[in-house]
Amino acid sequence: MSIFVSAVGFGVASGAVIALASLGFTLQFGLTNTLNIAYGSFITLAAFVGYGFVQFGLSPWTTMAIVAAIMGVLSVAYYGGFIRSLIRRSIGFGPLAIATAAALIFIEYTIVLVAGTTTRSYGLTSGTTYHLWDFVWTSTQVAIIVLAAALVTMFQLGLRTTRLGRALRATAANRTLARACGIRVERVSVGAWMISGLLCGVAGVALAMTTQAFTYNLGLTFLIVIIAAAVVGGIGEPLGAVTGGLIIGLVTQVSAAYFNPAYSDVAAFVLLIAALLLRPTGLFGGQARRSNVATA
Amino acid sequence: MSWAEGQPLARNLRCEDVVAGYGDVPILKGITVTAHAGRVLAVVGPNGAGKSTLLRALLGLLQVRHGRIFLGERDITNEPLEELSRAGVGYVPQIDDVFDSLRVSENLSMGGFVLSRAKQQERLAVVLDVFPALSKLIRRYAGSLSGGERKMVAIARVLMPDPDVLLLDEPTAGLSVELTQMVLETQVRLLATFGKAVLLVEQKAEAALKVADDAAVLVDGQVVLTGSGPEILKNRHVAEIFLGSNIGMNR
């Protein structure tokens, strides 16, 4: 089996986690025009809360479900108690992003205060190995790929078929017009932050499960990858975030296979810069441009 | 039988002595106007007169400091836009008047968001009956439509929940002379024919006054003249003083 095929296999597994995280990130951006830098620290928090449950003896999958619920609640609390009040004060896009960066530092150092700087690991064994065509995946990787595919499919279906989904689309496309249609956009925003928190929880635990070891800065490093995925796909576009996540996953893993793996995130940076230079609106940015989501 | 026949008249929108503005500066200085059911009220005036501010105050987008706004007998002063929509106030913005990234069918569906699915289908049939040309556009993305088509979608969308009052913010902005005439004389007049109270804010004063049953001329945040549209249109003195040469140029 070639190195390339093997890297592609890892890239899909890695891309599945990035896609979930990026979907949550882009949802916050699309609905409330917030570049939430603190999203990275929420990923870390999810990994650490999950670590606690795993240490307590719960299975990683049960842990993931519990952590997702916890992160959903925390995400809504963070939005309602912090972000919304800043938006109401009309502080502007840039200062809001800086405020979220401050929140990231606060959350990360709170984690350090509680859990220290020691490297942690869920300590999962690789378990059964599956051979699919020329790809080789561990049972954990397969489960995460299937879970990510299911969640993304559910999300996309929900956007089109449920009342909340329709309200999300309308609010992201044109907030004032959505209000003029009787859509209670503030409730919709809360719903969006809840969903993004759930996705963040799943992604955080999945990342910890597939990482050999992690520390308090897990999310900060991962944030760059998440932002790169969102930008490559078209920030504010759910399908773009998923596609961007898969692309970034593939590119970072393939580059890691041929160059020094320590520099794999550089590939994400290169893609991010290339996307900004060549297609600033991203792969799915046409829709974003039409709906003013990305430029609002 | 047309759709309008047999329809009960909708409620009026009454604005009483409204004062509103930005910061400490009042832009509206005691505005009193009424949009009557089944009639078009045109609010015209020069740039900076307070037309858009009035609309923002009516829509709950700007705090009303003094005075009251009534929908029928219900006090709707400072109610948020989404609640006004649910109460029966439809709004067509000047720009961004459709969901560009959604199909025409989805735009109409969003217009009827507060309705049950069954009621939505019922209203969709009615709206397509009123605007048969929409049937051919139903799968198109709203962002790909021409100016006139967009406006038709915007007005059709706002008709979906069957509102009592329609607030139209410069519906002819950016449209050609021919399209302006078509939108005002066909689509806007049609809304009044259906028994709706229509409040039309329009920069193209002459074109608006031609189709208006009632009109209010705003200058410096105050209503300086009211009357029927044709009456005000014929008053050359008024036109020269308040609208200047714009009245001819903005046709």
Between CA B128 and CA B105 the distance in angstroms is: 10
Second-level CATH architecture of B13-249: 3-Layer(aba) Sandwich (3.40)
pLDDT digits (tens, 9 = 90+) for B155-209: 999 999 999 999 999 888 878 888 888 888 888 888 888 889 999 998 888 889 9
Interface test with A, best of B81, B86, B101 (most A CBs within 10 A): B101
**Which structure tokens are listed for B182?**
């078509």
Between CA B13 and CA B73 the distance in angstroms is: 9
In this prediction, residue A129 carries a pLDDT of: 80
Between CA A190 and CA A186 the distance in angstroms is: 6
| More confident site: A123 or B159 | B159
Between CA A275 and CA A269 the distance in angstroms is: 10
The alpha carbon of A166 is separated from its chain's Cα centroid by a whole number of angstroms, namely 22
In this prediction, residue B3 carries a pLDDT of: 47
Nearest to A182 among B85, B97, B106 (CB): B85
In this prediction, residue A179 carries a pLDDT of: 96
Confidence of residue A139 (pLDDT cuts 50, 70, 90): confident
Between CA A264 and CA A269 the distance in angstroms is: 9
Question: B101 and A180: CB-CB below 8 Å?
Answer: no
ipTM of the modeled complex: 0.87
Helices (H), chain A: 3-32, 39-56, 60-78, 84-88, 93-115, 139-161, 163-173, 175-180, 185-210, 218-233, 238-258, 264-278, 285-291
A97-107 burial, b at 16+ Cβ within 10 Å, e below that, comes to: eebbbebbeeb
Question: A290 and B82: CB-CB below 8 Å?
Answer: no
* CB-CB neighbors (< 8 A) of B81 in chain A: 176, 179-180
A54: which residues sit within 8 A by CB, 6+ positions away? Answer: A60, A63, A122, A123
Percent of chain A residues topping a pLDDT of 90: 62
* CB-CB neighbors (< 8 A) of A167 in chain B: 113
Distance (Å) from the C-alpha of residue A141 to the closest C-alpha of chain B?
A: 35
Indicate the pTM of the whole model.
0.86
Between CA A50 and CA A204 the distance in angstroms is: 8
Distance (Å) from the C-alpha of residue A32 to the closest C-alpha of chain B?
A: 17
Nearest to B113 among A176, A181, A292 (CB): A181
pLDDT digits (tens, 9 = 90+) for B82-91: 999 999 999 9
Interface test with B, best of A177, A179, A290, A291 (most B CBs within 10 A): A177
Question: B97 and A177: CB-CB below 8 Å?
Answer: yes
**Cα three-residue angle B177-B219-B15, rounded to 5 degrees:** 95
Write down the domain spans for chain B.
13-249
- Give the pLDDT mean for A216-234: 89
